[in-house]
Amino acid sequence: MATRTKPHIRVGIGGWTYAPWRGVFYPDDLTQKRELEYASRQLTTIEINGTFYGLQKPESYMKWHDETPDDFAFALKAPRYATNRRVLAEAGDSIERFFGSGLEHLKQKLGPINWQFATTKQFDAEDFEAFLALLPKKLDGLTLRHAVEVRHESFRTETFVTLARKYDVAIVLAGDSDYPQIANITAPFVYARIMGTSDAQAQGYSKKALDAWAERARQLAAGTVPDDLQPVEAKAAAKGGRDVYLYVISGFKERNPAAAKAIIERL
């Protein structure tokens, strides 16, 4: 089989179960048990939120794998028990339990793991590096991709960016939000979460804004940081292409699938 080398831009939403999407995103006559099957054919990735609140069963991962197309990808939010703690270096047991819960059953559809931190969590270089060192590189032969979603201004420092790059961990790009933006490319992939959808737009964003995010995704896939984003340090020269995972999250959630589909169409 030929190996795909061209960067792949995937665009999606958070989760697939949300009552207001019925009749807006999902057809009225679609049964709820077929929502993932339908959503995965309209979008190219979905971020699973349930894993943040508790461990899922291996049978669930098997089912999600079987209901989605071959080239679909899931991102998983890592458990809050690993990230919502005073000492991150003590998260080893929580991390181990998470990776022992059956993630490997997603097989090639296992995308990045998003380690989301509380808005109150401040940067401590020594402790954060100890946490990054706990993240496994492989799982049952699958290469793991890790992203950290930090939401405190203290992380806007070159020390943090250097740490993320040292461990090949992506810094989640916060778009259209009040969270600090750290638009540095630190891993072989890019993980973006854009949060600015509004009920004032039929597709969540204006056409101009949708065009802009599609173009930013193209530039990020080429390995460059768009001029209208905010890295911490001076931009490094492009180092080749990388996959991009872009999720339309929060904002006016009812419009998120429409915004994601509109960006996919532009790409």
Nearest to 250 by CA among 53, 74, 15: 15
Written as six digits, the tokens of 167 are: 């461990």
Residues in the chain: 267
Nearest to 103 by CA among 149, 50, 150: 50
List beta partners, residue 248.
13, 194
Maximum Cα interatomic distance, the chain, rounded to a whole number of Å: 53
Q: What is the pLDDT along the chain (267 residues), one digit of tens a residue?
A: 344 568 999 999 999 999 999 999 999 999 999 999 999 999 999 999 999 999 999 999 999 999 999 999 999 999 999 999 999 999 999 999 999 999 999 999 999 999 999 999 999 999 999 999 999 999 999 999 999 999 999 999 999 999 999 999 999 999 999 999 999 999 999 999 999 999 999 999 999 999 999 999 999 999 999 999 999 975 555 578 999 999 999 999 999 999 999 999 999
- Domains in the chain, ordered, with CATH? 9-266 (3.20.20.410)
Predicted pLDDT of residue 2: 41
Rg of the chain over CA atoms, in angstroms?
18
CA dist 259 and 42 (Å) reads: 12
Predicted pLDDT of residue 6: 83
CA dist 121 and 83 (Å) reads: 9
CA dist 225 and 183 (Å) reads: 7
Written as six digits, the tokens of 59 are: 């049978």
Predicted pLDDT of residue 49: 96
**95 Cα distance to chain centroid:** 18
CA dist 51 and 56 (Å) reads: 6
Instruction: Please report the DSSP string for the chain in residue order.
Output: -PPP-S--EEEEEE-S--GGGBTTTB-TT--GGGHHHHHHHH-SEEEE-HHHHSPPPHHHHHHHHHHS-TT-EEEEEPPHHHHSSS-GGG-HHHHHHHHTSSGGGGGGGEEEEEEE--TTPPP-HHHHHHHHHHS-SEETTEEP-EEEE--SGGG-SHHHHHHHHHTT-EEPEEESSSSPP-----SSEEEEEE----TTSTTSS-HHHHHHHHHHHHHHHTT---TTS--SSPPPPP----EEEEEE-SSSGGGHHHHHHHHHHH-
pTM, full prediction: 0.96
CA dist 44 and 102 (Å) reads: 22
Predicted pLDDT of residue 181: 97
Residues 6+ away with beta carbon under 8 Å from 265? none
